């Protein structure tokens, strides 16, 4: 159950980070924003929304499976 809870923390944290990275260039001038938000870059961002959580879980697997320390 611990593994499910920690995985449920890692995946939304990864998605949140990707959303922040997408929104970060918003204050830039319109001429630069078009290049950043081009259809190709948005497509790659959507692909990363699908792939990156799996990569993050694989990279953080030691932490996800690590036993919790209980204090009495």
The domain spans of the chain are 2-62
If you average pLDDT over residues 28-41, what whole number do you get?
A: 83
If you average pLDDT over residues 38-49, what whole number do you get?
A: 90
If you average pLDDT over residues 44-57, what whole number do you get?
A: 93
> Cα–Cα distances in Å, from 23 out to 8, 44, 52, 54?
23, 15, 17, 22
> Cα–Cα distances in Å, from 55 out to 52, 67, 72?
5, 21, 35
If you average pLDDT over residues 49-72, what whole number do you get?
A: 86
If you average pLDDT over residues 3-30, what whole number do you get?
A: 89
């Amino acid at each position: 159950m611990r593994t499910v809870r920690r995985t449920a923390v890692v995946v939304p944290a990864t998605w949140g980070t990707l959303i922040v990275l997408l929104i970060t260039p918003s204050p830039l001038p319109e001429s630069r924003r078009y290049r950043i938000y081009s259809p190709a870059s948005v497509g790659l961002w959507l692909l990363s929304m699908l792939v990156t959580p799996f990569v993050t879980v694989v990279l953080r697997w030691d932490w996800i499976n690590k036993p919790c320390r209980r204090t009495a």
